[in-house]
């Protein structure tokens, strides 16, 4: 571990160079920058001494690959990360420019500092240490870093599906989640899945005058409202028949462990949500609601006249974006069918409703008793000096489901971000202490795995 | 009546010029066009030879006034119309551009063709005929044309309230309604009132990630839906306490007369609405639902992400435009209070809801035995060759209530539009035969009134 402690300044300088590249994958004008970031990762892997280093070109931004498979009889890990970042807007809310990394109070501020350049760099530096000092790794490692995580990750999805043999491994290691609290080493073992689509409701042939026809003509906005209210009650309970049938409740130990986590509901409401009250299913603790319960959310809606002033129209159509978040053992395909049936049953007379699926991802739940998880927890506990906790995340990381489905492997999600790291928001940061400890924790994980 | 038959081509060209002016009163960028339309009306009145012609400037768009009061001992009519029009959107549904009038199958297509430029022009041309041929009118006439009818008509409301003596008359004549069926001369004796406003619902401080917070954070779009569903049931019955208390049911004779009108529910559904089914209160005939029952309609809604693809956001706010249509003897102020109380009672936890009133108007009901109504019916029966029928309209013409309240006069609503004229919708049209007959019917009305 000496190498890691002695090279912190180098790691920091390297991370700054990585963060200076505005690799915003969603914006065409940053295409060159995205490619530059891919080149940066490729160079790092090459300089670390990995084999087969190169870029995998495809429909979208390149994947960067490298491997070191010279530890026969030892496990093989698949390292995953992403070099693309979210757009930095709104720019005027940043205290320092998003692509000019600045250190303040022990944090490095820049877009991608935490999500996910900082955490991807942890993986690269952990490998570098072994290669520079021992000339070899304790276990076999494949590295696959993508550049489209923030835009749906289609390239990696098709690559993993098409070439599972080239990625053969025993487990994946992903550093793209967060610690539950500062100083609290954290492994994420569950993610919600998702089914996201568009609900379109059509009524009359064209927009109608609400004076002339109000009382006889169907109103698609009212119909969307009626459908939404028929799908979910005011307590957040989803009313779609059969929807909860496959929901696996958290085990008693897991629930008990969540109860011991340092979580203050009032602080969460005040600091993170900022509304008058929390909502959701009564009698179910907040963490369980966001980690282990499925949800139905409307993300956007439009219909009719929304300009300034008044227009007395009954619109001909309304469109809502909505999603179901799924938990183990729900299945996206089945959820879509249930949702469609629910919508059909809830559609009021006079309108037609159609749901168009945009994307879906399965939920995932890793068995915490897996040796890959247990060993990761040991490594983190050692480095951080606190017992590692297991959490879930309410979000969806489709790659985890993909690795399980296509490669048949669990994902170990060691997260080093903090809850206030401002992911996807202005003033994204990464706590430098977690950056350095992250590198050591990953390195220690490889050592322990080799034992 | 010869003059009217000989000048049809001139009338048509004049109407086209009027329709080419995009006088959309709700849009700031059309301010100049609205003024141009006011100038157009002013010029027409001047050229017809009326006195005191001019624009009355005030807070909003100008009123155009003219008068001819040289028939002592004869009744005085107050002609009312409006030169402003609804926004033309959605533009891509128009077969010909909304402000490039086009004749197809005996109809003139343009925004405002029927509502209300075409019908306002009827009034102007009827006057022109007498002045050009006899140099005088059979009765006294004041003309007051406004430019804010589609945005609430605040200017005319304050003017009428402030200067009732300048508008002294025995009855108002308004051509802004429709014929019950082609060939069926029609007088409208009742209008619904309206209360129109914006409902804003706010939840979390900022947009939130639906994965991380879904299940605990309030969703303002869902909240708007819940409020809408709490205000009106799936049968169109309004659930606001006390809301129906003042509703006056139509008299037995009026109901019976409606039953004799040529109305085919299936044809109405197929031709006018174009949806799979009609909606509204069960057990109440369609005409009564749209003429004599109050309604609640959502006119527009927006919130969250509505672009292409997917964004997993829980929006911080959502806004809906909604209105209540009122019938005699409901009162707008009371309806607003009831609505606000209903919204407050229906607002789910975690969000705040605010209703902002944009405009309101009282319902109105004219006594059909008034001589001004009876004479108008005679004139129309003569010109159209069919017995005149009495209907109500589900729309709101606030000026009618204002004239009754402030000037103490009834409004005679001779309507020349057709049910399929697409008011407020793409491809608005006006049947040219009704345009020409309308001019003659108004002229004949003045003659008969003078007898």
Q: Can you list the alpha helix ranges (DSSP code H) found in A49-148?
A: 117-133
- Do residue A390 and residue A438 come from a single domain? yes
The pLDDT of residue A398 is 87
CA distance B375 to B381: 10
In angstroms, what CA-CA distances link B279 with A216, A223, A277, B273, B275?
5, 11, 36, 11, 10
CB contacts < 8 A, A to B, total: 313
Q: Do B219 and A304 touch (CB under 8 A)?
A: no
| Per-residue model confidence as pLDDT tens digits over A9-64 | 999 999 999 999 999 998 889 999 999 999 999 999 999 999 999 999 988 899 99
CA distance B51 to B170: 19
CA distance B409 to B76: 11
What tokens does B96 get?
Answer: 């010909």
- Do residue B334 and residue B429 come from a single domain? no
DSSP B162: H
| Per-residue model confidence as pLDDT tens digits over B394-410 | 988 889 989 998 999 99
Of A275, A301, A304, the CB nearest to B306: A301
Q: Do A310 and B321 touch (CB under 8 A)?
A: yes
- Do residue B219 and residue B179 come from a single domain? no
Please report whether residue A270 resides in a domain: no
The pLDDT of residue B153 is 78
pTM of the model: 0.87
DSSP codes of every residue in A385-396: SS--EEEEESS-
- Do residue B340 and residue B371 come from a single domain? no
Residue ending a domain, among A307, A332, A361, is A361
Q: Which residues of chain A have pLDDT under 50?
A: none
Please report whether residue B9 resides in a domain: yes
CA distance B431 to B415: 12
The pLDDT of residue B19 is 98
Packing angle of the helix pair B8-19, B432-450 (nearest 10 deg): 110
Please report whether residue B350 resides in a domain: yes
Please report whether residue A279 resides in a domain: no
CATH number, residue A226: 3.30.70.360
Instruction: Read off φ and ψ for residue B417, nearest 5 degrees.
Output: -75, 165
CA distance B23 to A21: 51
CA distance B293 to B113: 28
The residue of chain B with its CA nearest to that of A306 is B300
Handedness of CA A255, A257, A260, A263 (dihedral sign): negative
Q: Do A234 and B194 touch (CB under 8 A)?
A: no
Residue ending a domain, among A337, A361, A385, is A361
Whether the bond into B350 is cis, omega within 30 of 0:
no
The pLDDT of residue B420 is 86
| Per-residue model confidence as pLDDT tens digits over A287-340 | 999 999 999 999 999 999 999 888 899 999 999 999 999 999 999 999 999 999
B275, B269 contact by CB (below 8 A): yes
Residue ending a domain, among B323, B345, B361, is B361
CA distance A193 to A325: 5
Q: Do A350 and B299 touch (CB under 8 A)?
A: no
The pLDDT of residue B374 is 96
B297, B194 contact by CB (below 8 A): no
- Do residue A417 and residue A313 come from a single domain? no
pLDDT in tens, chain B (451 residues): 899 999 999 999 999 999 999 999 988 899 999 999 999 999 999 999 999 999 999 888 999 999 999 999 999 999 999 999 999 998 999 999 999 999 999 999 999 999 999 999 999 999 999 999 999 999 999 999 999 988 877 899 999 999 999 999 999 999 999 999 999 999 999 999 999 999 999 999 989 999 999 999 999 999 999 999 999 999 999 999 999 999 999 999 999 999 999 999 999 999 889 999 999 999 999 999 999 999 999 999 999 998 888 888 999 999 999 999 999 999 999 999 999 999 999 999 999 999 999 989 899 999 889 999 999 999 999 999 999 999 999 988 889 989 998 999 999 999 999 988 998 889 999 999 999 999 999 999 999 999 9
Please report whether residue B257 resides in a domain: no
CA distance A332 to A325: 9
Task: Please report residues of B whose CB lies closer than 8 A to that of A195.
Answer: none
CA distance B87 to B209: 36
Q: Which domain holds residue A135?
A: 2-191+363-450
The pLDDT of residue B307 is 85
Contacts of A433 (CB under 8 A, 6+ apart): A106
- Do residue B157 and residue B202 come from a single domain? no
What tokens does B163 get?
Answer: 């200067």
- Do residue B237 and residue B340 come from a single domain? yes
Q: Name residue, tokens 């180098």.
A: A10
Q: Do B218 and A359 touch (CB under 8 A)?
A: no
- Do residue B42 and residue B78 come from a single domain? yes
The pLDDT of residue B56 is 96
CA distance A398 to A152: 9
CA distance A118 to A130: 19
In angstroms, what CA-CA distances link B144 with A137, B44, B71, B376?
90, 13, 19, 19
Please report whether residue B260 resides in a domain: no
Contacts of A150 (CB under 8 A, 6+ apart): A24, A25, A26, A82, A84, A85, A86
CA distance B352 to A115: 33
Interface check B282 vs A, CB under 8 A: no
The pLDDT of residue B189 is 95
Could you tell me whether strands A171-174 and A411-415 are parallel, antiparallel, or unpaired per DSSP bridges?
parallel
Task: Please report residues of B whose CB lies closer than 8 A to that of A323.
Answer: 210, 310, 312
ipTM: 0.90
A278, B350 contact by CB (below 8 A): yes
Please report whether residue B253 resides in a domain: no
Q: Name residue, tokens 């308004």.
A: B174
Interface test with B, best of A299, A421, A427 (most B CBs within 10 A): A299
Interface check A43 vs B, CB under 8 A: no
Best CA proximity match to A295, nearest among A238, A242, A218, A367: A238
Interface check A364 vs B, CB under 8 A: no
CA distance A434 to A106: 10
Q: Do B211 and A205 touch (CB under 8 A)?
A: no
DSSP A164: G
Q: Can you list the alpha helix ranges (DSSP code H) found in B261-414?
A: 265-267, 286-292, 332-346, 371-384, 398-402
CATH number, residue A64: 3.40.630.10
- Do residue B346 and residue B404 come from a single domain? no
- Do residue A185 and residue A329 come from a single domain? no
- Do residue B57 and residue B185 come from a single domain? yes
- Do residue B344 and residue B390 come from a single domain? no
Task: Please report residues of B whose CB lies closer than 8 A to that of A311.
Answer: 26, 86-87, 150, 299-300, 321, 424
DSSP codes of every residue in A382-434: HHHSS--EEEEESS--HHHHHIIIII---EEEEE-B-TTS-TTSTT-EEEHHH
Best CA proximity match to B363, nearest among B404, B327, B412: B327
Best CA proximity match to A128, nearest among A291, A3, A15, A304: A3
In angstroms, what CA-CA distances link B27 with A404, B41, B118, B150?
55, 20, 21, 11
Please report whether residue A153 resides in a domain: yes
The residue of chain B with its CA nearest to that of A207 is B425
Interface check A347 vs B, CB under 8 A: no
Residues facing B142 on adjacent strands: B67, B78
Q: How many domains does chain B have?
A: 2
């Amino acid at each position: 571990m000496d190498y890691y402690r002695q090279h912190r300044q180098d790691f920091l300088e390297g991370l700054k160079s990585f963060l200076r590249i505005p690799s915003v994958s969603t914006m065409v004008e940053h295409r060159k920058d995205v490619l530059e970031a891919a080149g940066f990762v490729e160079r790092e892997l090459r300089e670390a001494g990995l084999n087969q280093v190169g870029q995998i070109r495809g429909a979208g931004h390149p994947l960067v690959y490298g491997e070191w498979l010279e530890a026969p009889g030892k496990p093989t890990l698949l390292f995953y990360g992403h070099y693309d970042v979210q757009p930095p807007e709104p720019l005027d809310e940043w205290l320092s420019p998003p692509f000019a990394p600045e250190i303040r109070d022990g944090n490095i501020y820049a877009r991608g500092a935490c999500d996910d350049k900082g955490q991807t760099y942890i993986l690269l530096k952990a490998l570098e240490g072994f290669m520079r000092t021992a000339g070899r790794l304790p276990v076999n490692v494949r590295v696959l870093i993508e550049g489209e995580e923030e835009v749906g990750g289609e390239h990696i999805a098709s690559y993993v599906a098409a070439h599972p043999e080239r990625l053969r491994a025993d487990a994946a290691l992903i550093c793209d989640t967060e610690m539950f609290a500062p100083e609290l080493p954290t492994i994420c073992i569950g993610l919600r899945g998702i089914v996201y689509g568009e609900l379109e409701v059509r009524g009359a042939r064209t927009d109608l005058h609400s004076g002339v026809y109000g009382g006889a003509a169907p109103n698609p906005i009212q119909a969307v409202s009626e459908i939404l209210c028929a799908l979910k009650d005011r307590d957040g309970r989803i009313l779609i028949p059969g929807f909860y049938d496959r929901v696996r409740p958290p085990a008693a130990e897991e629930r008990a462990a969540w109860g011991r986590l340092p979580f203050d509901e009032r602080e969460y409401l005040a600091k993170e949500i900022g509304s008058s009250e929390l909502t959701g299913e009564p009698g179910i603790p907040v963490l369980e609601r966001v980690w282990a319960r499925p949800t139905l959310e409307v993300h956007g809606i439009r219909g009719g006249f929304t300009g300034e002033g008044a227009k007395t129209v009954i619109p001909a159509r309304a469109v809502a974006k909505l999603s179901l978040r799924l938990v183990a053992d729900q299945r996206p395909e089945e959820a879509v069918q249930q949702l469609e049936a629910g919508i059909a049953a809830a559609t009021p007379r006079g309108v037609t409703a159609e749901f168009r699926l945009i994307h879906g991802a399965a939920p995932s739940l890793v068995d915490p008793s897996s040796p890959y998880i247990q060993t990761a927890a040991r490594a983190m506990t050692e480095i951080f000096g606190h017992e590692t906790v297991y959490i879930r995340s309410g979000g969806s990381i489709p790659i985890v489901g993909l690795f399980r489905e296509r490669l048949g492997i669990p994902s170990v999600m060691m997260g080093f971000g903090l809850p206030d790291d401002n992911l996807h928001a202005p003033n994204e940061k990464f706590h430098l202490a977690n950056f350095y400890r992250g590198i050591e924790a990953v390195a220690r994980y490889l050592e322990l795995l080799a034992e």
